[in-house]
Structures are given as structure tokens and as C-alpha cells.
């Protein structure tokens, strides 16, 4: 459940934070929520991943039979067998 929260923060800090959030393609609320989760040690689903990486999870849809190790091996062989 999402609840509204009122904070008192210096105007310049808010301005800078909004610019940063926009550059990262995230909302200011999302950044603050993830920061508070980090402080409390209660990361969402992927504790071992940073918020930047967690945001990318699920952004690429691979086929069910995709073999990451095989593909990686093939690409490494291509790169170094020239």
C-alpha cells in the first residue's frame, strides 16, 4: 500500500534531486523510497542488486530455451579467434 508523506527539504536540494531523477528516468518518490529501503536493509526483490540494476530486471524478454552460457561462449570465441 502506498501512503503519501510530506517532507521539508531545502528548495535547491529538491530541484537538484528532480533533475537527477529525470535524468535517470525515475520519479523522485521512487528514488527516495529505494533510498529508505536501503537504509532500513529491506531491499525489494533483489537484495544483492543495486537499485540501478534492479530497475533493469525484466526489461529484456529472452526465449524460454535461451542458453546464456552457450551464447556467451560462442561470442567469446568469435571475439578472440580473429
13-33 pLDDT tens trace: 999 999 988 988 889 998 898
Q: Is residue 6 part of a domain?
A: no
Residue that the C-alpha cell 526465449 belongs to: 63
- CA 59 centroid distance within chain: 11
Does residue 4 belong to any structural domain of this protein?
Answer: no
Residue 56 lies in a domain: yes
Q: Is the pLDDT of residue 82 over 70?
A: no
pLDDT greater than 70 at residue 63: yes
pLDDT on residue 60: 79
> Which band of pLDDT confidence, cut at 50, 70 and 90, is reported for residue 45?
low
In a domain, 69, yes or no: yes
Number of domains within the chain:
1
- Please give the Cα distance from 73 to 68 (Å, whole number): 8
Segments forming the whole domain that contains residue 46: 11-80
Amino acid at each position: 500500500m502506498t501512503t503519501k508523506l510530506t517532507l521539508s527539504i531545502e528548495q535547491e536540494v529538491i530541484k537538484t534531486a528532480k533533475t537527477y531523477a529525470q535524468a535517470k528516468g525515475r520519479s523522485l518518490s521512487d528514488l527516495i523510497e529505494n533510498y529508505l529501503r536501503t537504509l532500513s536493509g529491506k531491499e525489494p526483490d533483489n537484495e544483492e542488486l543495486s537499485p540501478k540494476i534492479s530497475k533493469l530486471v525484466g526489461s529484456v524478454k529472452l526465449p524460454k530455451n535461451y542458453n546464456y552460457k552457450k551464447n556467451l561462449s560462442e561470442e567469446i570465441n568469435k571475439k578472440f579467434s580473429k
